[in-house]
Structure 1
Amino acid sequence: MEIYQSEEQQVEAIKKFWKDNGNSIIAGLVIGLGGFIGFNYYQNSQIEAMESASSQYQQNIEVMNTNGEEFRTNSKTFINEHKDSSYASFTALALAKDAASHGDYKEAEKQLSSAAELAPSEEVKAIAQLRLARVQIQQENIDAALATLAKPFPEKFAATVAETKGDAYLLSGDKQQARSAYQSAVVAGGLESSPQLQMKLDDLAIAVNVAG
């Protein structure tokens, strides 16, 4: 099962947003909450902290495919030291991807839960939760996957959530619930982002006809 491919571009877009807009967001929050007293000092220190975190994050990601052990060690240290940075959540997502690629789904679950907790936005949290559900499905832990998918998600994730529910129900053998979930995904516009959705529905129809 390919757990990560479908959201990879979205994650990259969110990373770019935080890199481009993180400083102005912090500035707006400081102005709104604390006025201008000490603002310049605070802003400069926060910009330096963000630039440092960004640099460390990029350097660490670069060794992900060349030195896995170093990547894992550095990533866990980075998360502990930068919990307030958006890059902590992105690092946890990367750790989860690395763990899943080695079949360590328990570690992937742990890191995806951490990514959701540390997420800088509802979109990043949604991506982490979707990946968590898919890892749980991979382990055939259907109840846990459905519980994860029952959590609140932004409306634009409705189709993906419904399709993933369908995958969970199908694996459990509940073809009726699977079909209903897939149809909900279609209604929510899932065919635009997931061409395989129609194939899943067609395969279910064939299976039902054969069984009948």
Structure 2
Amino acid sequence: MATYDLEEQEQIAEVKAWWKQYGNLVTGVVTAAAIGVLGWQGWTYYQGSQAGKASAVYGVLQRAVVDKDSQRVKTASGELLEKFGGTAYAPLGALSAAKVMFDAGDAKTAKLQLLWVVDNGKDGLRDLARLRLAALLVDDKAYDEALKQLDGDVGPAFAVRFLGSRGDVFSAQGKKAEAKGAYLAALAKLDDGDKTGQGKNTLQATQVNAAYREILRLKLDALGESS
């Protein structure tokens, strides 16, 4: 057996004393760190698993969209929202389902799908859902609810459309002055985008903006208020 000199014995004694006082704390910290790492790995695996399953359901939904099978679309979308609402596939599926259900004459389900995206979606998808929901509410003559969807912050990609849609609501209400103001504001924002280079990254974007500008001018003409 090795023989320790006095200095080594004192060091060993100090280590034993320190470990006796703080050993449980160190063990607890190490254990907690290990649990944290395992927990993160488990969560990452769970998220990946959920995304994979959601992707499969989304694939079923898209095939049903192509087949125009509204019942299968409704079922697949319901599964996405109920089981995989936290994945990126859920709002995409709901938007697709909303269009199919509306085309099938089921405006009620279409609105519920859009409302889910409004409540749970993010950024551009949420703005798109607000825009589409407002249009359905105008069809129902629920003008105040439509304007609520068009109020508040909106991303730059949809700012012009939101102004144009506000004009549509006011026009449907017979409020010509308010409708004119909204349409002119939308045209002005389009012009600002042209001056700053926004919306001109692609030929398609330029063509879409040109077409929408013409639509706004036709709506102003319909009000008897040409720009």
Q: Work out the CA distance in 1 between the residues paired with 2:117 and 2:41.
A: 31
Q: CA RMSD in A?
A: 2.5
Rg comparison, structure with higher value = 2
Q: Work out the CA distance in 1 between the residues paired with 2:73 and 2:218.
A: 42
Shift of 1:125: 0.9
Q: Work out the CA distance in 2 between the residues paired with 1:61 and 1:199.
A: 31
Task: Encode CA deviations 1:135-178: one digit per residue, 9 max, x unaligned.
Answer: 11222322211111113212332111001111111122222211
Task: Encode CA deviations 1:3-39: one digit per residue, 9 max, x unaligned.
Answer: xxxxxxxxxxxxxxxxxxxxxxxxxxxxxxx975543
Q: Residue 122 in 1 paired to residue 123 in 2? A: yes
Which position in structure 1 is the counterpart of 2:101?
A: 99
Query: What TM-score, normalized to structure 2?
Result: 0.68
Please tell me whether the aligned partners of residues 58 and 76 of structure 2 are also in contact (alpha carbons under 8 angstroms).
Answer: no
The 1:166–1:197 alpha-carbon spacing in structure 2 relative to 1, beyond 3 Å, is farther
1:174-193 counterparts in 2 under 5 A? 174-189=175-190, 192=206, 193=208
Q: Residue 151 in 1 paired to residue 152 in 2? A: yes
Which position in structure 2 is the counterpart of 1:165?
A: 166
The 1:142–1:156 alpha-carbon spacing in structure 2 relative to 1, beyond 3 Å, is same
Counterpart residue type for residue 104 of structure 1 = D
Shift of 1:81: 0.9
Please tell me whether the aligned partners of residues 105 and 139 of structure 1 are also in contact (alpha carbons under 8 angstroms).
Answer: no
Aligned to 2:85, the other structure's residue is in SS state coil
Counterpart residue type for residue 133 of structure 2 = L
The 1:208–1:64 alpha-carbon spacing in structure 2 relative to 1, beyond 3 Å, is closer
The 1:60–1:198 alpha-carbon spacing in structure 2 relative to 1, beyond 3 Å, is closer
Please tell me whether the aligned partners of residues 175 and 204 of structure 1 are also in contact (alpha carbons under 8 angstroms).
Answer: no
Which position in structure 2 is the counterpart of 1:84?
A: 86
Q: Work out the CA distance in 1 between the residues paired with 2:185 and 2:152.
A: 17
Counterpart residue type for residue 168 of structure 1 = V
Please tell me whether the aligned partners of residues 86 and 118 of structure 1 are also in contact (alpha carbons under 8 angstroms).
Answer: no
Shift of 1:112: 0.6
The 1:177–1:147 alpha-carbon spacing in structure 2 relative to 1, beyond 3 Å, is same
Structure 1 segments unaligned to the other structure (5+ residues) = 1-33
Counterpart residue type for residue 96 of structure 2 = A
Q: Work out the CA distance in 2 between the residues paired with 1:209 and 1:64.
A: 41
Which position in structure 2 is the counterpart of 1:64?
A: 65
Please tell me whether the aligned partners of residues 179 and 201 of structure 1 are also in contact (alpha carbons under 8 angstroms).
Answer: no
Counterpart residue type for residue 198 of structure 1 = E
Please tell me whether the aligned partners of residues 163 and 197 of structure 1 are also in contact (alpha carbons under 8 angstroms).
Answer: no
Query: What TM-score, normalized to structure 1?
Result: 0.72
Q: Work out the CA distance in 2 between the residues paired with 1:60 and 1:75.
A: 7
- Residue identity (%): 23
Q: Work out the CA distance in 2 between the residues paired with 1:36 and 1:59.
A: 35
Please tell me whether the aligned partners of residues 100 and 108 of structure 1 are also in contact (alpha carbons under 8 angstroms).
Answer: yes
Shift of 1:203: 4.8
Counterpart residue type for residue 130 of structure 1 = L
Aligned to 2:154, the other structure's residue is in SS state coil
The 1:49–1:65 alpha-carbon spacing in structure 2 relative to 1, beyond 3 Å, is same
Relative contact order (alpha carbons < 8 A, sep ≥ 6): 1 or 2 greater? 1
Q: Residue 40 in 1 paired to residue 35 in 2? A: no
Q: Work out the CA distance in 2 between the residues paired with 1:181 and 1:209.
A: 12
